[in-house]
Amino acid sequence: MIVIPSGAEGPFTQESPLGQTGALRPIVIVSGPPAAGKTTISRLVASGAERGVCVPVDDVREWVVAGRADPVPEWTDETARQFQLAEDAVADLARRYQAAGFLVVIDHCRLPENIEAWERRCFVGVPLMKVALVPPLETLLERNLQRTNKDFDPRVLEPVITGVHRAYAEATLDDWLGLENADQPDVAASLILRETKTKPDS
């Protein structure tokens, strides 16, 4: 797990155009607990590329306008089915944009074993980079209370945050890029963007 030193500086700058060598850049999946900074960092990484697209899986789930099964307040079999549908749709979209020369960054909150199952299901033979954002639990809980982008009391997410944080803390993440703190999102994004240039194709 990489800890970004306090006071580390970017600056975060846009890279030179993609596709000059013809090599595909890996699709980047950014995951971790709620309030880890996934959306902010995902958008920064994608915007740092000459051609970049950021795909939040939750946005695709919200295309369901009747009968959507959300994970809060209760996770059900239908919730799991709809999550997998959204993941598979995002994988199709991501591979098309990747083939067209875009850097694709997927923003998704799932347990590490779910991300790895998704990889086996949809990304075999596809250049892929998995990023885990796992700040300390107390940081996550504090950030969650400060969020204003939810239409429900964010405190209901506290058991989810605790459980997902535990899952990442206990998981073996040998083939992931792990970032322990994300309070300097521009520095984290620059690190991820640099790694997409050096990661070999799968």
The pLDDT of residue 4? 53
CA distance 71 to 163: 13
Instruction: Classify residue 15: in a domain, yes or no.
Output: no
- Pull the structure tokens for residue 122: 């949809």
What is the arithmetic mean of pLDDT over 105-130? Answer: 97
Residue 125 lies in a domain: yes
Residue spans of alpha helices (H) in 23-157: 38-47, 57-61, 77-99, 112-122, 137-146
Query: Is the distance from CB of 132 to CB of 108 less than 8 angstroms?
Result: no
| Structural domain contains residue 7 | no
Q: Is residue 8 part of a domain?
A: no
Total domains present in the chain: 1
CATH number of residue 138's parent domain: 3.40.50.300
Q: CA-CA distance, 132 to 33, in Å (whole number)?
A: 9
**Integer Rg of the chain from CA:** 16
Mean of pLDDT values over 142-160: 81
Nearest to 91 by CA among 119, 71, 113: 119
Instruction: Convert the pLDDT of each residue in 123-132 to its tens digit.
Output: 999 999 999 9
What average pLDDT score do residues 40-63 get?
A: 96
Contact in structure between 133 and 35 (CB atoms under 8 Å):
no
Nearest by Cα to 54 from 30, 85, 32: 30
| pLDDT value for 170 | 95
Nearest residue to 114 (alpha-carbon basis) of 57, 67, 68, 70:
57
Residue 162 resides in a domain = yes
Confidence of residue 6 (pLDDT cuts 50, 70, 90): very low
Round to whole Å and give the CA distance between 136 and 8: 18
pLDDT-based confidence at residue 150 (cuts at 50, 70, 90): low
Domain that holds residue 194: 27-198
pLDDT at 184: 85
Q: Determine, yes or no, domain membership for 54.
A: yes
176-179, strands of its sheet edge to edge: 52-56, 103-107, 27-31, 128-133, 176-179
Note the pLDDT tens digit of each residue in 159-193. Answer: 999 999 999 999 999 999 999 866 789 999 999 99
**Is residue 17 a part of any domain in this protein?**
no
